[in-house]
């Protein structure tokens, strides 16, 4: 009986001690969760402030107008052979992109025919060729190219004038990328020059991704309002998780563009 009572007493003591430890650990986890939630909220507020501030600056508006004008002039100004450009862009997609995307990520986009990844606008095709394919900087550093006299054009001049400022902004605030998307859905400028550059978010290959969702939300927003799309696999970033925050740019009271952070 004494042995039985001792075992019962020990069991009760251990159970109470375990319950206390579990309760203590749960309290710690709740504290960590609250702290992390606060950090995430603070970071989102920080990004919102950056994005809305950049969207209203005159320099940003001037850059958009210059990029838009230059983008739709590339075909006429450079007169590059479309079939050759298309073949070279497709070769680059096959050799330097599609084979490296991790299509095993759950809920990620799956590989499509190479042709589907081409920009839907011929000017976009030329832009990808100039800034990605015929760019001597290695993958992950395509943003190092500021100007290439070989492709001197209205767009290249605009890139020479504004890209360094955007690139400095991106690095100073530890952003992944900066996008300008016009009302037609064409991504007419990105800092990092990944495979989403110069594609169309309304009818292109990435029209069902997070950046396209953020873009569509921002199209229906007023000045200073923000759209957010949460982390999800993003194919142009090799299916790494990505989130996007977007706001419209108004010029002379008219919505002209959507500015997006990645």
Dihedral of CA 167/170/175/177: which sign? negative
Is the distance from CB of 187 to CB of 68 less than 8 angstroms? no
pLDDT tens digits along 154-178: 999 999 999 999 999 999 998 999 9
Domain membership flag for residue 218: yes
pLDDT at 140 over 90: no
6-20, 57-71, 86-100, 236-250: lowest mean pLDDT where? Answer: 6-20
Domain membership flag for residue 35: no
Domain membership flag for residue 18: no
1 pLDDT tier (thresholds 50, 70, 90)? low
Structure tokens at 240: 């790494």
Domain membership flag for residue 107: yes
pLDDT given for residue 35 in this prediction: 46
pLDDT given for residue 19 in this prediction: 59
Using left for φ > 0, alpha for ψ between -120 and 50, and beta otherwise, residue 11 falls in alpha
Between 137 and 6, the more confident residue is 137
Give the mean pLDDT of the chain.
88
Buried b (16+ CB within 10 A) or exposed e, 204-237: bbbbebbbbbbbbbbbeeeeeebbbbeebbbbbb
CB within 8 Å of 94: residues ≥ 6 apart:
114
Can you list the alpha helix ranges (DSSP code H) found in the chain?
2-55, 58-71, 74-78, 82-96, 122-128, 154-172, 210-219
Average pLDDT, integer, range 18-24? 61
User: What is the SS3 assignment for 223?
Assistant: coil
In this prediction the pTM is 0.83
Cα–Cα separations (whole angstroms), residue 103 to 8, 109, 185, 233: 56, 7, 26, 10
252 pLDDT tier (thresholds 50, 70, 90)? very high
| Domain region containing 227 | 59-261
Average pLDDT, integer, range 118-136? 96
CB within 8 Å of 40: residues ≥ 6 apart:
none
pLDDT at 196 over 90: yes
pLDDT given for residue 47 in this prediction: 76
Distance CA 91, CA 97 (A): 10
The count of domains in the chain is 1
User: What is the SS3 assignment for 187?
Assistant: strand
pLDDT tens digits along 70-103: 999 999 999 999 999 999 999 999 999 999 999 9
CB within 8 Å of 132: residues ≥ 6 apart:
89, 92, 142, 193, 195, 197
pLDDT at 2 over 60: no
CATH number of 214's domain = 3.30.450.20
Domain membership flag for residue 208: yes
Domain membership flag for residue 82: yes
């Amino acid at each position: 009986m004494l042995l039985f009572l001792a075992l019962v007493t020990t069991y009760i003591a251990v159970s109470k001690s375990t319950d206390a430890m579990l309760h203590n650990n749960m309290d710690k986890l709740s504290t960590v969760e609250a702290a992390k939630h606060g950090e995430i909220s603070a970071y989102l507020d920080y990004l919102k402030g950056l994005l809305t501030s950049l969207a209203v600056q005159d320099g940003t508006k001037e850059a958009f107008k210059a990029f838009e004008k230059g983008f739709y002039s590339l075909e006429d100004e450079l007169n590059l052979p479309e079939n050759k450009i298309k073949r070279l862009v497709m070769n680059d997609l096959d050799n330097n992109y599609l084979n490296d995307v991790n299509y095993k990520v759950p809920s990620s986009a799956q590989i499509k025919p190479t042709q589907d990844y081409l920009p839907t606008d011929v000017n976009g095709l030329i832009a990808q060729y100039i800034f990605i394919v015929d760019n001597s900087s290695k993958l992950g550093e395509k943003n190092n190219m500021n100007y290439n006299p070989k492709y001197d054009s209205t767009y290249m001049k605009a890139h020479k004038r504004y890209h360094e400022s955007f690139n400095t902004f991106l690095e100073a605030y530890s952003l992944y990328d900066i996008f300008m998307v016009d009302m037609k859905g064409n991504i007419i400028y990105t800092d990092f020059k990944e495979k989403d550059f110069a594609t169309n978010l309304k009818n292109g290959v990435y029209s069902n991704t997070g950046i396209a969702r953020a873009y569509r939300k921002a199209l229906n927003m007023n000045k200073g309002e923000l759209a957010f799309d949460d982390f999800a696999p993003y194919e142009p970033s090799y299916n790494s998780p990505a989130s996007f925050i977007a706001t419209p740019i108004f010029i002379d009271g008219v919505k002209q563009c959507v500015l997006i952070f990645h």
